[in-house]
Amino acid sequence: MIFSRDQICAHRGASGHYPENTRAAFDAAAQSGAGWIETDIQCLADGELVIFHDEQLGRTATGSARLRDLCWSEVAPLDIGSWKGAEFSTQRPLRCEDLIEWQSGATDRPGIVWEMKCSEDPEAVEAAAQALIERLSVAQDHRCIVSSFSRALLQAIRPRLPAVPMALIAGALPADGIAFCLNNALEGIHLDGQDLHETAAHMILAAGLSLRSYTVNTEAEARRLSVLGVSMIMTDFPERLLTTP
């Protein structure tokens, strides 16, 4: 084994070889031995929380509608597997609660890094916050981290889910990124591994924040980041970093 289980997070599931954000990708991530999975959630027009990365259909499912304009009854039947291979044509979208149920289905299932996709629009933030709080506040023994690029979303949920670790996502470290995390009781920061270097890593760790990086698909880059103090590597290919060649 190259890295330990808890250092490795399967980005959108094992999305290198499986269709992202599907049960197939999450099952493969669990089988790879990854201690964590990362996944994207967004709020639909009816308040359901769907696991889906893009703002609109087109890349991983047929159509062009914006997710935020659709209801769950319209999203649930979508084929989100065929774009990756005909053998995945039965893959359908999951909701937040479906993945929580999947996690609780076995004792060794990975923890979940939720990435809440959300604009800074106040109405969208409140709808997303409400939906997420409802699902996570009833989940028992749910090992998770909540993360977002949306500062407004993090500020809305932080006081209402006090026991859940939360992290700001950014590309490179923003000038006010550490202060934002500390002022809002966030536990960590998730940065693009390509843009992360020693000075920023040192500042983050010295502030007492956890440092995690995305999306890292080579062993050499994962090792570089690990030496800098990155505690979790989000990768599309967890099996590469968990299996001795």
Q: Which residues bind ligand G3P (CB under 6 A)?
A: 11, 38, 40, 53, 115, 147, 169, 190, 214-215, 234
- Its sign, for the CA torsion 46, 47, 52, 54, is positive
Binding site partner of 190, from ligand G3P, Ca ion, none, Cβ cut-off 5-8 A by kind: ligand G3P
Cβ proximity to ligand G3P, 89 vs 192, nearer residue: 192
Q: From CA 28, how far away is CA 9, in angstroms rounded?
A: 12
**212, 215, 219, 213: which is closest to 236 by C-alpha?**
215
68 binds, among Ca ion, ligand G3P, none (CB under 5 to 8 A by kind): none
The one-letter code for the residue type at 134 is E
> Is residue 189 within 8 Å of 181, Cβ to Cβ?
yes
Identified binder of Ca ion from the candidate list 2, 27, 40, 119, rule CB under 5 A: 40
Pairing type for strands 8-11 and 188-192 reads unpaired
Residue 23 or residue 190: which is nearer to ligand G3P going by CB? 190
The CA distance from 212 to 214, in Å, is 7
- Should residue 115 be labelled a site residue for Ca ion when binding is judged by CB under 5 A? yes
Closest CB to Ca ion belongs to which residue?
115
* Least distance CB 242 / ligand G3P (angstroms): 19
For binding to Ca ion (CB under 5 A), which residues are involved? 40, 115
